[in-house]
Amino acid sequence: MQISDLPYPDPGVPDARSGPRFLLWLGRGQLGGQLKSLAWGMLHFSGIAGLPYAVGLGVDAVVARDSGRLLLVGALLVLIGIAIALGDAMLHRTAVTNWITAAARVQQLLARKTAELGSALTRRVAAGEVVAVSTGDVEKIGWFVEAVSRFLAAVFAIVLVCVGLLFYAPELGLVVAIGVPLIALAALPLLPRATQRADIQREKAGKATELASDTVAGLRVLRGIGGEELFLGRYREASQEVRKAAVRSARMWALISAIQVLLPGALLITVVWYGAALVLDGRIAVGELVAAFSAVATMLYPLRHFEEIAMAYSFSRPSAKRAARVLSLTRHEAAELSTGADAPEPPEPPAPGGDLYDPRTGLLAPAGRVTAVVCGDPDLAGRLAERLGGHPADAESAADTDAGPSVLLGGVALDELALDDARRLVLVQDKDPVLLSGTLRDLFDVPASGAVDSADALAAAQCADVLDALLQSAPDGTRDPMDARITERGRSLSGGQRQRLALARSLVTDPEVLVLDEPTSAVDSHTEARIADGIAALRAGRTTVVLASSPLLLDRADRVVLIDGGSVAAVGTHRELLAAEPLYRAVVTRETDEEQRLAALRLTDLEDQLTEIEESA
């Protein structure tokens, strides 16, 4: 594949069982590019390997005063020069192509996995690790993939030089044949320690990146509480730890580089000293000595590729391991590591009008009605919202016994459906929705049924003041608020404004089932009441589940479900549960146990007073 052909139509199904297996899968996927790079590399290094012999032949021709032979040697040197130049240019071209295509494949795989997992990704993998994988790790993986072909070409050249010297100058060739493998393998004992230090550096860098991303995301809150300096100090400490780890890692690699310079230099001195003695004894010609000297000198370049491949593998192995860990995640509750095997055929989507049922909690959301869910535990509400969307965030493996059976829509398990079908049928808006940068028109350019237009959704979500604010901050000449731009993550808007825009976006999609997790937690009570009416009107005949504890939302729901201890505790209308369920009343009204006791006493006293009045009358 050429760079112009990117992106891949289909990046494939990776072997994510381990980092080395993932690297092997990438290499197999680019076998054609690797063979091209290897061929050009062999041409380039063969020219380098043949250069010493041509020089030796030229020296022998000069000593013998054979001009005809000298002309032939000159022609040979021209051909070798052409081979070296052409091979070098094409080797660089094909190697960089391998690098970029490998990196592009990994980025496409990561993007596909991110889209598949959605918000569950950052709950199962740290945000800093995701950033590290999608940036620095991708580059390191691509580096190793492209370095393999150049390393193999360098090995071919070294073998060619050693074998050639054994035939051309056996005495010196034997010395070189023994010394070169020792030089190539001399750094092996240092590689585990160098790899360990490199791993420590990357781990610290990932933590620093995660800290930086968390700080930037919460910058507005930090400024509000005056915590910028505290977090700046923490990041400064983290960055200094990264610097120290990088210096320790660089020292080890510098030592390896020094060995790769020192030992070839010692071999070169040995060859010159021993070869000079052989020339004085008349056992070899001067041209043979020059050829051997030139061969050892030129081998310093291909020998560098042994150090490079060691560094590339040491850096790419943990990077590939992290990438494989992310790529092995699945949206299913009984998730197993991806092995590249064909997945079972997903079932057909359920017919419209089916009930939504969660076997784990016993929650039933009848079709076409608004069901409100009250949970005493906010974390449980978030996990339940994820489950109702068919991609729970709390189950990472088949061994997770807390996962429970899948949520059913019309009797069909959501997590067994094709991802596109599951997302078309059920939409989950969590309590902290994200607004991407762009115009308001771009924000509403989402897959939708077409039954709800953006104006109706904005009106139902009470976004009139948001439109005015966006229009006021828009450049001169912007008359339509839909053309106004939203900054990254909507940071120029208040929390309530962002929440209402996200709600309007969810209403526009008009899915068969809409799950809203605290959709009005950041708005005032008057706006909340109007939003509750808007949701009920716009979602009439559609299944809607609202996880909330606001009485204004609960009072407008068709039915209310109280969940306690992970299962359904009571079902009814808001007013029925308020009168009959003390736990529900405590959650909704935020009453403490003491307040409930005092209220019960006041109610008893009031009943006694009414009884006395009736008796006296």
Residue-wise pLDDT tens digits, 394-440: 444 333 434 557 899 999 988 888 878 888 899 999 887 888 888 88
Asked, as a colleague might, if the bond just before 7 is cis with ω within 30 of 0, I would say yes
The residue with tokens 């449980």 is: 380
Q: How far apart are the C-alpha atoms of 110 and 65, rounded to whole Å?
A: 66
CATH number, domain 3-117+125-327: 1.20.1560.10
Q: How far apart are the C-alpha atoms of 545 and 513, rounded to whole Å?
A: 8
Angle between helices 300-327 and 19-29 (to 10 degrees): 110
Which parts of the chain register pLDDT below 50?
333-341, 393-402
Q: How far apart are the C-alpha atoms of 569 and 492, rounded to whole Å?
A: 42
Cα–Cα–Cα angle for 192, 198, 203, rounded to 5 degrees: 125
3-state DSSP of 56-95: HHHHHHHHCCCHHHHHHHHHHHHHHHHHHHHHHHHHHHHH
Q: How far apart are the C-alpha atoms of 43 and 81, rounded to whole Å?
A: 11
Between strands 412-413 and 408-409, the pairing is antiparallel
Here the tokens at position 111 are: 């993007």
Here the tokens at position 432 are: 């902290």
The residue with tokens 């078309």 is: 424
What is the reported pLDDT for 490?
72
Q: How far apart are the C-alpha atoms of 94 and 152, rounded to whole Å?
A: 14
Kindly report the number of other CB atoms within 10 A of residue 425's CB atom.
23
Here the tokens at position 313 are: 């593998």
Q: How far apart are the C-alpha atoms of 211 and 217, rounded to whole Å?
A: 10
Q: How far apart are the C-alpha atoms of 548 and 520, rounded to whole Å?
A: 8
Q: By percentage, how much of the chain surpasses pLDDT 70?
A: 86
553: Cα separation from own chain's centroid: 37
Percent helix, strand and coil across the chain, each to the nearest 5: 65, 5, 25
What is the reported pLDDT for 337?
36
The residue with tokens 């005015």 is: 468
- The CATH H-level (homologous superfamily) assignment of domain 356-580 is P-loop containing nucleotide triphosphate hydrolases (3.40.50.300)
**Predicted TM-score (pTM) of this structure:** 0.67
What is the reported pLDDT for 332?
55
Q: How far apart are the C-alpha atoms of 144 and 149, rounded to whole Å?
A: 9
Side by side, which strands form the sheet with 412-413?
363-365, 356-358, 408-409, 412-413
What is the reported pLDDT for 395?
43
Here the tokens at position 333 are: 């509750």
| Length of the chain, in residues | 617
In tens, the pLDDT along 219-255 reads: 555 555 555 676 777 778 888 888 998 899 888 888 8
User: What ranges do the domains of the chain cover?
Assistant: 3-117+125-327, 356-580
3-state secondary structure of 417: coil
User: Which is nearest to 59 in space by CA: 273, 315, 306, 288?
Assistant: 288
- DSSP class of residue 379 equals H
